[in-house]
């Protein structure tokens, strides 16, 4: 494994972890808005709840299927997972220091960017 590859995996893990902690990304793309709209949660509560829901090993069986198919490189997964934890911690600290209205705008903006990429991308 080259240094460049390891650094790339670290960056991927940090970005994914940071965004996970910052806006509850992942299942949060669906859960966070629904917690706010349907349950009247604050942005902080919705993001915290989304992360709490994902805390148990909810993906265990899906990962097992991919593992059985030979589609997982555990060396890479461990590196990204380790730095994802660090990124999530830092992202959550940043999120809690931002005003909820601004945080909601950041969340919405990221959703718009993802939607535009999915709709307009190749």
pLDDT at position 90 is 94
Record the tokens describing residue 66, joined without a space: 């991919």
Q: What is the pTM of this model?
A: 0.70
Average confidence (pLDDT) per 10 residues, the chain, 122 residues: 90 79 71 83 86 71 86 90 91 95 93 90 81
Residue among 106, 83, 80 nearest 95 (CA):
106
pLDDT of residue 30: 77
As given in the structure block, the two tokens for residue 31 are 């859960």
Q: Residue 29: its pLDDT value, please?
A: 79
Domain ranges of the chain: 3-120
Output the pLDDT for position 24.
Answer: 67
Write down the pLDDT at residue 13: 76
Q: Which residues contact 35 (CB under 8 A, 6 or more apart)?
A: 41, 45, 46, 49, 50
């Amino acid at each position: 494994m080259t240094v460049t590859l390891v650094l790339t995996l670290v960056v991927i893990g940090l970005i994914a972890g940071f965004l996970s902690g910052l806006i509850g990304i992942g299942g949060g793309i669906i859960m966070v808005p629904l917690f706010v709209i349907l349950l009247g949660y604050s942005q902080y509560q919705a993001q915290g709840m989304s992360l709490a829901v994902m805390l148990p090993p909810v993906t265990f069986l899906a990962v097992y299927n991919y593992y059985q198919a030979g589609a997982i490189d555990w060396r890479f997964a461990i590196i990204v997972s380790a730095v994802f934890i660090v990124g999530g911690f830092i992202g959550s600290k940043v999120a809690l220091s931002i005003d909820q209205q601004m945080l909601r705008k950041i969340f919405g903006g990221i959703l718009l960017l993802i939607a535009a990429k999915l709709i307009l991308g190749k």
